[in-house]
Amino acid sequence: MDATEFRKRGKEMVDFIADYLENIEERRVFPSIKPGYLQELIPDHAPEDAEKWDDLMKDVERVIMPGVTHWHHPHFHAYFPTANSYAAICGDMLSDAIGCIGFTWASSPACTELEVVVMDWLGKMLNLPEEFLAGSGGKGGGVIQGTASEATLFALLAARNRTIHKLKAANPEIDDARFMSKLVAYCSEQAHSSVERAGMLGAVRIVQVPADENHCLRGAALEEAIRSDKANGLIPFFVCATLGTTTSCAFDKLLEIGPICAKEKVWLHIDAAYAGSAFICPEYRHLLDGVEYAESFNFNPHKWMLVNFDCSAMWIKDSSQLVDAFNVDPLYLKHENQGSVPDYRHWQIPLGRRFRSLKLWFVLRLYGVKGLQAYIRKHIRLAHEFEELVKKDERFEIVGEVTMGLVCFRLKGPNERSEMLLKRINDEGRIHMVPSKIGSTYFLRFAVCASGAESKDIDFAWKVISELTKHLIGEHQTNNLK
């Protein structure tokens, strides 16, 4: 494909993308295929000779689309949203065209410098403490990671390195492995599975502290867990607090957890992957109170801020904690401005990195803070509309508090009723949802996901749920009479 054909086919692809997104409602939201379906539709080897563009595009519909779960469908209500906007797509197009690998400032100065600027913009939108901002003149700053899972792992590894370094300085005769065997990190039992996985990858034990009746990690429970472990000769070094848990969007109590971490000199990392976007709205910023106690903070603009995956925003108060922990400095990566500007290869697990700040820059400029605030508020309003529909139906009950764009609910009675309802919902395919479970309570999660979601989509989803519930209960009553 040369430039002439690219101009033609590129315009066709833009039209295809726009048509796909604008008419996505005509497609089944969740595919009805079996594992291995695709292998039967394409050859088992690559073509020897070049094929035609038109044939390739026909296969997009024939081969790819039947197996796509349409995350931007207005009837997709599973997981959490994954953000999407034409502004971000344009930013990604430019990033792909520039094609730089921005591991150091010298490898593409604009790639590094735009990231420094837009991460400070975003930090100011969240009203983060000055220590987290590169422009503050201190050691803080922001970096775009691929996912919140990477951010948690990287924070844990930096905290582990800092702790071992301090222990080694005081006890130089003791082997690192002995210290490692005693390290312990903490999170709520409701924290994302990626926190537990970070502990596995970091070769440290993770203690999942019991949450309270509202599914939040409280200070007293954390304090008791730390006290018990210290009494047993263990070394607490890291706490991951969650703001907006995946199971039910609960918020750990930062103002209780933070002072304990400060007293114990334990690294506090905050995972606000989904809910963090809402903190740009002043009425939800209080949920972030206590962030001043944290060493690192992370949320995903690629979930709820119209920036396409991947774009996970992470801030740290002292970037030297990352650089010192992971500095491998071969000659071919050195440059004359080293030390005066960030080299983001030290701030992440991979070496290479895309020009991800472009799509964030495009979105921030083309929507503005007010536009993004309006988008967040609309999703939350739609969630409350669904909540009211659930509350009016005596067959259902709400699980937990509805704070963001997620509603957790269930059919009253045994778990099996809600399990059967969800299976029917997803088998039928008009809407798509996933379940969750806290303790022994099984429930359904209804997330407002689509960027273009409207009240009519909420009403449609409730109509589907009500119809299938009526059939389910009717069948149950009939069976009981037999």
* Tokens 């930096």, residue located: 158
Q: Is the Cα torsion angle 375, 379, 380, 384 positive or negative in sign?
A: positive
Write down the catalytic residue from 70, 72, 192, 302.
Answer: 192
- Give the residue among 190, 205, 258 at the shortest CA–CA distance from 236: 205
**Is residue 192 annotated as a catalytic residue, yes or no?**
yes
Which CA distances in Å does 376 have to 84, 85, 169, 356, 370?
Answer: 13, 14, 48, 22, 10
At 342, phi and psi to the nearest 5? Answer: -65, 140
| SS3 assignment for 7-25 | HHHHHHHHHHHHHHHHCHH
* Tokens 């990690």, residue located: 217
In order, the DSSP letters of 329-376 are --GGG--TTBTTB--GGGGSSSS----THHHHHHHHHHHHHHHHHHHH
Is the bond into 310 cis (omega within 30 degrees of 0)?
yes
CB 309 within 8 Å of CB 302: yes
Which stretch of DSSP H or E encloses residue 411? Answer: strand 406-411
At 352, phi and psi to the nearest 5? Answer: -75, 155
Beta pairing partners, 315:
142, 297
Which CA distances in Å does 147 have to 57, 79, 187, 454?
Answer: 31, 15, 18, 28
Contacts of 406 (CB under 8 A, 6+ apart): 80, 248, 249, 274, 383, 445, 446, 447, 448
**Dist CA 52 CA 324 (whole Å):** 51
- Give the residue among 246, 252, 250, 261 at the shortest CA–CA distance from 317: 261
Instruction: Give 461-468 contacts, CB < 8 A, sequence gap 24+.
Output: 461/75, 461/77, 461/386, 461/431, 462/386, 462/389, 462/390, 464/425, 464/428, 464/430, 464/431, 465/421, 465/425, 465/431, 466/393, 468/421, 468/424, 468/425, 468/428
What residues are labeled active site?
192
